[in-house]
Each structure stands twice: as C-alpha cells, then as structure tokens.
Amino acid sequence: MNTTAAIAPRNGARWLTQALEAEGVETLFGYPGGTIMPFYDALVDSKLKHILVRHEQGAALAANGYARASGRVGVCVATSGPGASNLVTGIADAMLDSVPMVCLTGQVATHLMGTDAFQELDVFGLTLPIVKHSFIVRRVEDLPEVVRDAFRIAREGRPGPVLIDLPKDVQVADASHLPDHVPAQVQLPPAPADAALAEALAAIAGAEKPVIYGGGGIGLADATEVFREFVEATRIPTVLTLRGLGALPGGHPDYLGMLGMHGTRAANMAVQESDLLIVVGARFDDRATGKLAEFAPFARVIHLDADAYEISKLRTANIAVPGDVAAGLRALVGARSTCDDWRKRCRMLAEKHGFRYDAPGTDIYAPALLKRMTELAPDDAIVACDVGQHQMWVAQHCKFNHPRNHLTSGALGTMGFGLPAAMGAQFACPDRTVLLVSGDGSFMMNVQELVTIARCRLPVKIVLLDNSSLGMVRQWQELFFARRYSEIDLSDNPDFAALAEVFGIPAKRIDRRDQVEGALADLLAQPGPALLHVAIDIKANVWPLVPPNTANSTMLDSNPADAKAPEAAQRTESAHALPA
C-alpha cells in the first residue's frame, strides 16, 4: 500500500474511486497519462480492478463488451487529448447499440482550458453527438452530483454512454468535506397504457398472418423470459434482428431466423406476406427492412418499445405501445391467435429454405464450422465477433440461448470490436466460455490486445477466419461493382498462429475440412487463451443477400453474373493484387 497516499487528505480522485466502488463498479479498463495521473494514483489504494489495455480504443470496446455481457455499466478511463479521442469509436458504438457505459477522461487544469495547452482537446464538444450526456467537472464540489447523474443516465430508459471530463486540478483538490457517494435511484419506464394494450390484443386476435419481429430492446429491457412466454402462448411465427438473436432459442419451432439483408429466406418471406407485425424492441433498421417503402406492405404494426421516439420514426405504428417492454409483453401473453394455417405455411418455408451444410469439396466451409463450434461449446457460451462476412455467418449459423451471449457491433459496424469486447466479456463472466470469431481484416485492427489477454491469462478462445481479403467489401465489389476489385487484398497477412504464439497464446492452423472436428475440440479444451487460425476460400460469399435498395423478397442465393458468364468467375483479379 502507498502509505503517503493512505494518510493524505481525500482529494477528488480518491473520492471518485470510492464513488465508483459505491456504484458497484468492480472492473474498469484504461490507459494512464498526464492529466489522469491523480486518478491512477488513487487507484493504488482502491478496491477497483483496473485492466491496462494497449490502446484506448481497446479500453472503450472492452468496457462495451463487459456491459453487453453483464448488463452492468462498463467503465473506461483515458487521459486528455489523444487518449480521449481514441475512446471515441468505442463510445459511438455504445451509443448506437444502447450500451450503458461511463467514460472518464482527464483534462488539463481549469485555468488552462481554452489556451491550447498540451494535450488539450474539447472532449465535451467532440463527444456530444455520441453520448447520452457529457459532463465537465469544474469544481470538486460538483463531483457527487455529476457521478450520481452519470450512472443514472447511463442505466435509465434506453441505456447508453455518458462522459465525465475531469480537469487535473479538480482531481487533486481537497474533497475531505464531500459526503460519501450514494447512487441515484433509476426511474423505471412507465407501464404501457391499458387502451393501447387492449387494442393490441384485439389486433392479434383478428390477424390471419401475424409475425413477431423482435429486436435488441428485448435484452435491454430484461424481457427475454416474458418474450418467450408470449411466443409460447400465442405460437405466432417469430423473426429476430441481429441484436435480437438469442431472445428465442435457435431450435424453437416457431422461430424463422434473422430477417433482413442476410436473414433467412423464410423470415423475410413471412414478414413480406404478413398482415400484422408485432414489433418488440426493434427500430426498423435499414439492414433489417431493406427498401422501407416495400417492407411488410400488407401489415398493420403494433410497436412496443421503451424509447417512445422510436415508435413511428420510420414506419408508422397503427398501435403504439411505449413504455416498459416486459410489462407490455406480460399483458399480451393472454392474447389469442388462431393462425394454424399460417403457422404451417411458415414452418414449410423454414424447412424448404433451411441452411445446408453439405458444401462440396475438401475446403473448410465456414458456416458448417461455426455451427459445429456452438454445438460443441457450453450452452451458456458467449460469442463475440467482429464485422464482415464472418459476422453474418455467426448470426446465421451459431445458436444463442440469450441476447447477452451474442456480442456484435450492430448499428456502427465497428471493425476491431471483437477482441476487446471478448476480453471485457471474460472479465464480466469469468466462469463462462467466451469465444471470439474474427476475420483477418478486423483482427488486425486491435490485435495489440492479445497482450492484455496473455498478461491476464484470460481463457478467450479465438476462431480466426482468414480469406486473405476484406471479404464483405470484396463480395460487394463482385456483386455491385462489376468485379472491379479495389484495395481488398490481404494476402500479406502474417502467420496468425505464429503471431499468437509470440504473445504466449497456443495456436493451430487448419485448412482442410477433416481437421475441423479435432481442432475445435482442442481449442475448447485449452485451459487458457488459444487461437485457431482457419484458412477459407477467398471466393466464399454470404448467402442469402438482399441487394441494396430492394425489397426483402428480392433475395440472392448466388451471383447472377455467374449464371450468365461463368468465365467471369475465373477472371484474373489484377486490381485486387498487392502493388508490385
């Protein structure tokens, strides 16, 4: 223990560490620097577990993953200037996906603010569009109210990130006169109106082709169990968004899969044919709806959401049910739905258009590998992923038994999200299996956090799909840009297995289908961190796909150009190659 610090009067930084403890914070992620140094000095005598990352973006995304997996507020810390600006992508990701976070940034002393001092940056202004609220603490006496409000705002209503900018002189100011911190009570969302619920019950009873369309708001509202009760009670065919996956178990007989751009054909066809959409915690995102004007053209809409501003924002709700999502679903569990013929039709669609895993050849087929991965993993395993083709394969082929078990960057699509998010999830859930599925493009964006995983001996299991390209960009260039491949060649990737071993992480590389079963078993059996480097075909694409600005009924299962001009598939990809 630092004896000098222990007997010194309590300053602002020491008061803040004690306040974080009072808020229930156990773990925080950060990187020290000049203006935040008083806070780091106070950490020496605190009960907080600080995780030293190797880049501030890693801190923000680790806090993000911690919050997603646990439902608790994630906390990250950085110094002023570049430290704070490096947090921005992780903060924006949390804002767009409604993840509760409190972000602490150092700032130059108040008398230097506005003078272009060393590492001064207007973090308050910089983050205004990507936080629920920003605070600058100008007096030590303001700390109690700021911290209380920051955690309340992060948790309350639709969750999100809050930033606290801490000038250095506030951190070192005498705080011995401040009261001990007491967390604020979080205001619960209001109960839905009885009239709206009665109207919804009548609409469900009268619908012939109803579909439940569930989104990320189910997990945010801790409404997973009652959502499942609602589906079980009504037996209405159900589709989920990317962020809603896990709200219903993958094998449920009334589950049709994910809808949208890379959704299942059964899900998209059912939505397009439906006469009633029961929307629960979803926001009609463009990747889910396709061409909005042609989305579910025959359907009336019941919309339940905790955020009243989402209702009728993009699609007018015939019956608006704002307020507590769990309470709304609980009231609708008694709904009566007589749609047996429609249910049979939807099951037929699901059986007819189900995914196949018998691809020809000896190369590794990524969808089959990912399906097998979640079959071998424990039922409560957490799967984090990055952004790109592998993200969609994870969504299509992995099975999740709870929304918090699927960590994915939805609205922002942040490459580099997966590794630090998995790290944060493992700290939040130390007794659970945490798997990371990444691509060779995304993985390199925060590869430095392998050091953090190795240092902390976090047992994160990494499956790295390597097609030596920016796969999703390559697929779009193939389909929509006349195969004019531009800047997607990653054939100079390092040997990822050797790279992991440099960090002290056991690794293996496979490139044949007959190696998959044993390699996955070995990966999951490792007591600590491990990496499986999986080489896959550069030409592998994600199917089905809804082309941009088209209706979800317009789904592609292959490149139309291949049927018209098979020789195009053999075309030399000279623009794809590295410079000579």
| 192-228 pLDDT, tens digit each | 999 999 999 999 999 999 999 999 999 999 999 999 9
Q: What is the pLDDT of residue 564?
A: 55
Alpha-carbon distance of 562 to 554, in angstroms, equals 18
Asked whether the beta carbons of 64 and 424 are under 8 A apart, the reply is yes
Asked whether the beta carbons of 466 and 535 are under 8 A apart, the reply is yes
Catalytically active residues are: 56, 118-119, 168, 472
Same fold, 3-172 and 366-542: yes
Q: What is the pLDDT of residues 96-115, one digit of tens each?
A: 999 999 999 999 999 999 99
Class of domain 194-352: alpha beta
Q: What is the pLDDT of residue 580?
A: 40
CA distances from 549 to 261, 268, 295, 297 (A): 10, 15, 11, 15
Tokens of 528: 């600590």
Asked whether the beta carbons of 62 and 29 are under 8 A apart, the reply is yes
Mean pLDDT rounded to a whole number for the chain: 94
- Domain residue extents for the chain: 3-172, 194-352, 366-542
With respect to CATH, is domain 366-542 assigned 3.30.43.10?
A: no
Residue 578 has pLDDT above 50, yes or no: no
Residue 161 has pLDDT above 80, yes or no: yes
Q: What is the mean pLDDT of residues 423-438?
A: 98
pTM as predicted: 0.94
Asked whether the beta carbons of 561 and 480 are under 8 A apart, the reply is no
Return phi, psi of residue 483, to 5°. 55, 30
Structurally, what CATH architecture does the domain formed by 3-172 represent?
3-Layer(aba) Sandwich (3.40)
Q: What is the pLDDT of residues 369-406, one digit of tens each?
A: 999 999 999 999 999 999 999 999 999 999 999 999 99
Place of tokens 């109106």: 193
